[in-house]
Structure 1
Amino acid sequence: MRTVTKEEAENAKNNLLNWAKEGKISKGGQLGEWVYRKINPNNDLSNVEELIITSKTPNAQQKNWKTPNEFPNCPASINENGLLEYVQGLVKGSVFSKNKYGESIVDSAEINSATNELFVLTNGSGIKPYALAKVYIEGNNFIHESMGSFFDLNGAQKQFNLALGREWDGDDSIDDFS
């Protein structure tokens, strides 16, 4: 603990109450400087600027994904069956995305029919080699949104299943604590 301003004390109180209401331990599982900052309990991100860039593939944009990518299996045109056409090309072992740093290889790809979003679990290189992306159609673009990267496949599969609206009964992974 440290000496705090009146505003920081109020933020800490609200954040701890919201944390208790959620009933789950946050990533890291410990208190830190975050507790003194104002956090929106409803996850309303309307005032947060999101990073959206144009990808190297026509009709594609990237959200919360800094490096421009090429998406080799992304359909050239958008229609009402665009996501279905997209997922059919994303077979295990195919290239989902590539950039100047390397390629991300498809491990799993499925559409959440309830949300009409395509989720793609990939394997690549680096410290966190597994990644999850969400793809959806907005206007005349396929939006490829980064949903995070993971240290091990188990952690990535957990988030993939949860994104598809499924229960997870597998083991915990290091990603649950990072």
Structure 2
Amino acid sequence: MAEKNIEDFKEEKNCIYRNETYSARDNGAVLRYSKETGRKRQIDDIWTFGKLDDKGFLRIGGKKINRIVATAFLGSPENEQYVVFHKNYNSQDNHAQNLAWVIKFEFKILQPNIQSQLRMITGKKIEEILSDVSIFRTIDAPNLIWMKDVTQEAADKCLEKYIDLKFSTKDEIESINWNSVENRKQIKNLNIYLHLSLTPNAVVEGNMIPSYFPCCPQEINDNPLQIYYKNLKEENVYYMNSKYKVLILERALWNDKIILKCESADGEKAIKPWSVSTIRFENGMYIHSLYKTCFQKESADKYFTVLQGKEWTGGDVFDDFC
């Protein structure tokens, strides 16, 4: 993962969180002030992005960085039931603009796997479901039983939050049932090796766990790859599913396709932490292809370079022999 510059920020704000005083920057860095009485602690009065815990969150002194930054820039939540939602689904990206306070029900609805399951069970869009909570009463999936107790008032607030976080205007709400018969026929006619993803406009070439591509454009214009390329910023989530979350390290646009070098959110704990993928646009769809998964980062560097038509001068790499 590329190292972030702690001094690269535009705005800094102060807050009090759980009886501690902090300064927070819009780049996700925080500073905890030493107390007037008592011994100065080791991490007091030092700017830091935090230390990664075993759940994938960054912390300082046991406190989540995301809650401190959100408190500084968004204000304190109404109560402790509120959690922080990361708009790009990267739990380590604590830039202020990437954070939002949501209640736990809203947080669950905003998860791609829950949205996909609800669509599959009900055959309805999320907006339709939230507009009529009686639909929740018909759901018998064990992991969704809790939804039967959701009130219409809570669902209405969730719908507003869903629109605000996922779409630029209320008129641009998702309008495609991507699992329709027509879409399946279109994909079958295009390529028998293409499969639906959990995101409209995004399909996958080859076998893959059903995945969500959060950066995939929902509106297609005259320059579809350029629009997608702009969304694929470093450290954003490329795709995520029930088992994996993959983050973007580098990107390139070459010869009518996007080339990505990525890293597992699990870092080097993953068996093959690095990968290289391509995205092309055909017949109104973004086609996502995995080129290679790698044991070593140097291997991903090589394949990322070669796919751009450039010369690789580093010789053989470990994954050439795997």
Q: TM-score range by the shorter chain?
A: 0.5 to 0.7
Is 1:118 matched up with 2:262? no
Map 1:93-112 onto structure 2 (within 5 A). 93-112=235-254
For the pair shown, which has the larger CA radius of gyration, 1 or 2? Answer: 2
Which is bigger in relative contact order (C-alpha 8 A, separation at least 6)? 1
**Alpha-carbon distance in structure 2 between the residues aligned to 1:151 and 1:174:** 8
Is 1:156 matched up with 2:296? no
Unaligned runs of 5+ in 1: 1-48
One-letter amino acid of the counterpart of residue 203, structure 2: Q
RMSD: 1.5
**Alpha-carbon distance in structure 2 between the residues aligned to 1:123 and 1:129:** 5
Contact 1:51 1:66 in 2 (8 A): no
**Alpha-carbon distance in structure 2 between the residues aligned to 1:117 and 1:161:** 14
**Alpha-carbon distance in structure 1 between the residues aligned to 2:309 and 2:192:** 24
Deviation, 1:65, is 3.7
Pairing partner for 2:214 from 72, 90, 93: 72
Is 1:145 matched up with 2:285? no
The runs of at least 4 consecutive aligned structure 1 residues that moved more than 4 Å come to none
One-letter amino acid of the counterpart of residue 198, structure 2: K
- Aligned twin of 2:319: 175
Percent identical pairs in the alignment equals 28
Deviation, 1:53, is 0.7
Secondary structure of 1:131's match? Answer: strand
**Alpha-carbon distance in structure 2 between the residues aligned to 1:78 and 1:170:** 39
Contact 1:75 1:85 in 2 (8 A): yes
- Between Structure 1 and Structure 2, the one with more helix by share is 2
Deviation, 1:81, is 1.2
One-letter amino acid of the counterpart of residue 206, structure 2: N
Pairing partner for 1:135 from 279, 282, 292: 279
Deviation, 1:129, is 1.2
Deviation, 1:171, is 4.7
Q: How many residues align?
A: 128
CA deviations 1:20-48 (Å, max 9, x no partner) are xxxxxxxxxxxxxxxxxxxxxxxxxxxxx
- Aligned twin of 1:31: none
Contact 1:65 1:146 in 2 (8 A): no
Unaligned runs of 5+ in 2: 1-190
Deviation, 1:139, is 0.7
Q: TM-score, normalised by structure 2?
A: 0.38
